[in-house]
Amino acid sequence: MRKNILISTGGSGGHVIPATIFYEHLKKDFEVSVTSDKRGAQFLNSAKYNIEIIDTPKLSKNLFLLLFQIFVIIYLTIKSFFLLKSKKIDILISTGGYMSLPLCIASKVCNVKIFLFEPNMVLGRANRLFLRFCEKIFCYSDKIKNFPDNFKNKILITESLLRKEFYSLNPSKNFDGEINLLIIGGSQGAELFDFAINDTIIKLSKKYEINIFQQTSFKNYKDLKNYYLKNNIKNELFDFNENIYDFMQRSNICITRAGASTLAELTFLNVPYIAIPLPLAKDNHQYENAAFYEEKGCNWILNQSELNKTSLTGKLIHIIENQSEYFDKKKNMKKFSYENTWNNINQKIITTINEN
């Protein structure tokens, strides 16, 4: 009899994309369904996934609002309990975040087996809370910050989770007379990138043939488009895009935040990148993500506090003019991703689920 698996996700694309990847790996061998909050549901194809909404609120520091939110979480936990029972769920896979709280609590009450996923190099707070109750936690490394030593036996190291489409793509382009610069802010967008690096791009455009592929927010799209047109800079602007791999494959260098999914995708497609971690990310996890790949020789890191016209412009010109360093990054990325195949990850996930 096929096991019934529920995947809990929500929030940003960094949680939702891995959930869809787990879904694709598991759907042939198990009955799989998905829950999300309303924010995460916007990144999911409702025609493809039968989504149940569990809209967990983010806890406020306001005492009165917090008391109300606690009652909401209690209600959602009861709702999750009946959902687990009605679907006869055997296994919950949580991709982390506060959105997972009601389902993880209900799973514990219902004796549903819990598997966690931690793509970041700092253990998330929700995952830490449920670590003692889980069977295994899928991670990219066993060197995760804040991970309790007494639970390290629960870590199941896997290669970076990538959408299946990535495995049929060719690596990114090399420099071939023009610079194809990709600028990524993550599923939430990075408003800082919309305007803080404009002077750098102008200076590069006077020195090199340059194309810009840039993720931007809807509210800034028109102003940014007009700015590039005014300065005769070829560009393609986009919001959150499931097909971002198309832009990655056409790029030869990238400026990005340091979300775990984005760094994994860039590394797999051998796109050398400058990571500018979001300084307000919880527990500084974006910096730790970038540092993990820097240690493997796959990227450059620039702190946001250093982000000024001179530092970013100088860094990019140095990379373009000193291509031996650039090609070392590509070589290290290829070496790092050597064992990352769809079949290897699929076998690891299926075996882990069946053995626990």
Asked whether residue 129 falls in the same domain as residue 21, the answer is yes
Cα 126 from Cα 148, distance rounded (Å): 14
| CB contact at 8 A, 186 and 11 | no
Cα 23 from Cα 32, distance rounded (Å): 7
Asked whether residue 322 falls in the same domain as residue 180, the answer is yes
Whether the predicted pLDDT of 242 surpasses 70 = no
Asked whether residue 217 falls in the same domain as residue 139, the answer is no
Whether the predicted pLDDT of 270 surpasses 90 = yes
Whether the predicted pLDDT of 255 surpasses 60 = yes
- For residue 335, what are its two tokens? 């070496």
Asked whether residue 328 falls in the same domain as residue 191, the answer is yes
Residue 177 burial class via C-beta count within 10 angstroms: exposed 0-12, middle 13-18, buried 19 and up: exposed
CA distances from 223 to 182, 188, 220, 230, 266 (A): 18, 18, 6, 10, 27
Asked whether residue 276 falls in the same domain as residue 202, the answer is yes
Half-sphere exposure of 118 (CA within 13 A, CB side): 30
Asked whether residue 148 falls in the same domain as residue 193, the answer is no
Asked whether residue 127 falls in the same domain as residue 266, the answer is no
Asked whether residue 137 falls in the same domain as residue 212, the answer is no
Cα 314 from Cα 200, distance rounded (Å): 9
| CB contact at 8 A, 342 and 348 | no
User: Which residues lie below 8 Å from residue 51, measured CB to CB, with a gap of 6+?
Assistant: 34, 35, 36, 41, 44
CA distances from 113 to 31, 108, 110, 180 (A): 15, 8, 9, 46
pLDDT at 147: 97
Whether the predicted pLDDT of 161 surpasses 90 = yes
Domain count within the chain: 2
Q: What is the pLDDT of residues 184-241, one digit of tens each?
A: 976 555 677 777 788 889 999 999 999 999 988 778 888 889 999 999 999 999 886 6
Cα 169 from Cα 164, distance rounded (Å): 10
Cα 118 from Cα 345, distance rounded (Å): 15
pLDDT band at residue 308 using 50, 70 and 90 as cut-offs: low
Cα 37 from Cα 55, distance rounded (Å): 4
Q: Identify the weakest region by mean pLDDT among 170-184, 186-200, 241-255, 330-344.
A: 186-200
Q: Residue 256 sits in which domain range? A: 167-336
Quote the DSSP letter at residue 121: S
Which helix (DSSP H) or strand (DSSP E) does residue 212 occupy? Answer: strand 209-215
User: Looking at residue 201, which CATH number applies to its domain?
Assistant: 3.40.50.2000
pLDDT at 163: 95
CA angle 305, 224, 284 (to 5 degrees): 30
- For residue 56, what are its two tokens? 């967990």
- The structure's pTM equals 0.92
Q: What is the pLDDT of residues 93-149, one digit of tens each?
A: 999 888 999 999 999 999 999 999 999 999 999 999 999 999 999 999 999 999 999
Q: What is the pLDDT of residues 1-13, one digit of tens each?
A: 789 999 999 988 8
| Residue 36 three-state SS | strand
| CB contact at 8 A, 8 and 35 | yes
85: left (phi over 0), alpha (psi -120 to 50) or beta: alpha
pLDDT at 193: 77
Asked whether residue 172 falls in the same domain as residue 308, the answer is yes
Percent of the chain predicted with pLDDT > 90: 71
Residue 324 burial class via C-beta count within 10 angstroms: exposed 0-12, middle 13-18, buried 19 and up: exposed
User: Which residues lie below 8 Å from residue 243, measured CB to CB, with a gap of 6+?
Assistant: none
Asked whether residue 53 falls in the same domain as residue 181, the answer is no
Q: What is the pLDDT of residues 15-64, one digit of tens each?
A: 899 999 999 999 999 999 999 999 989 888 877 888 999 999 887 777 78
pLDDT at 150: 96
pLDDT band at residue 304 using 50, 70 and 90 as cut-offs: confident
pLDDT at 158: 96
pLDDT at 76: 96
- For residue 316, what are its two tokens? 């990019």
Asked whether residue 181 falls in the same domain as residue 309, the answer is yes
Q: What residues does 256 pair with on adjacent strands?
A: 184, 275
Asked whether residue 171 falls in the same domain as residue 148, the answer is no
pLDDT at 280: 76
